[in-house]
Amino acid sequence: MLLLEADQERAAAVRAGGCSCGGVLHSAPYPRKPRGLPLEFRQVDHERWRFCCNRDGCRSRHTPQSVLYLGRRVYVGAMMLLGTVLRCAVSGRALRELCELLGIPRATLDRWRAWWNGEFPVGDFWLAMRGDFVPPVSSPLPAELLARFTATDPVIQLAQALRFVAPLSTQTEGR
């Protein structure tokens, strides 16, 4: 799985970088039960990588950025992004079928849509990063944001978008 490999690479880089105090980072992963994954991926044990400094007096935690998890949310980031894009495109019976297919309640899709178009555009991350896009990204988010990543393979395009929003997944990567 491409996203899991990207998270593993990022975790290895954070661990190799050590703590800012000079201490060594020890593994301290915690279990996750992500929603929004196909059945065969839910059977696998999922952990979110986290590291802890070994130096007494520091003991800082370092949680690497993730493309698989978008912060503390229980659904995987790809599902949150794609589910919102699809939610904006359908209504009525098609929306009911989408909710059934994804196994996500309509209220959850609506909540994600409200976050992408309410909280996200006024958050510090987007206010700092939106200038990277010329012409400016317009509504509706995240469909317009996803369209800005121009890979010909849709899987790579999704991975690029998730790498872009990965800083939202943690506040403790580099302390």
CA–CA gap between residue 60 and residue 139 (Å, rounded): 39
28: pLDDT strictly greater than 70 = yes
| pLDDT the model gives residue 58 | 92
Summarize the confidence of residues 142-151 as an average pLDDT: 93
32 beta partners: 46
pLDDT at residue 43 tops 70: no
- Confidence band, pLDDT 50/70/90 cuts, at residue 134: very high
Amino acid at site 3: L
* Nearest one of 77, 149, 139, 148 to 114, comparing CA atoms: 139
What pLDDT, on a 0 to 100 scale, did the predictor assign at position 5?
87
DSSP tag of 144: H
pLDDT band at 59 (very low <50, low <70, confident <90, very high): confident
The candidate with the shortest Cα–Cα distance to 171, out of 72, 63, 85, 99, is: 63
75 in Cβ contact with 81 (< 8 Å): no
Q: In angstroms, what CA-CA distances link 129 with 70, 125, 133, 168, 172?
A: 17, 6, 8, 12, 19
**Who contacts 14 (Cβ-Cβ below 8 Å, separation ≥6)?**
25, 49, 51, 62, 64, 173, 174
3-class secondary-structure state, position 75: strand
Mean pLDDT across the stretch 141-163? Answer: 93
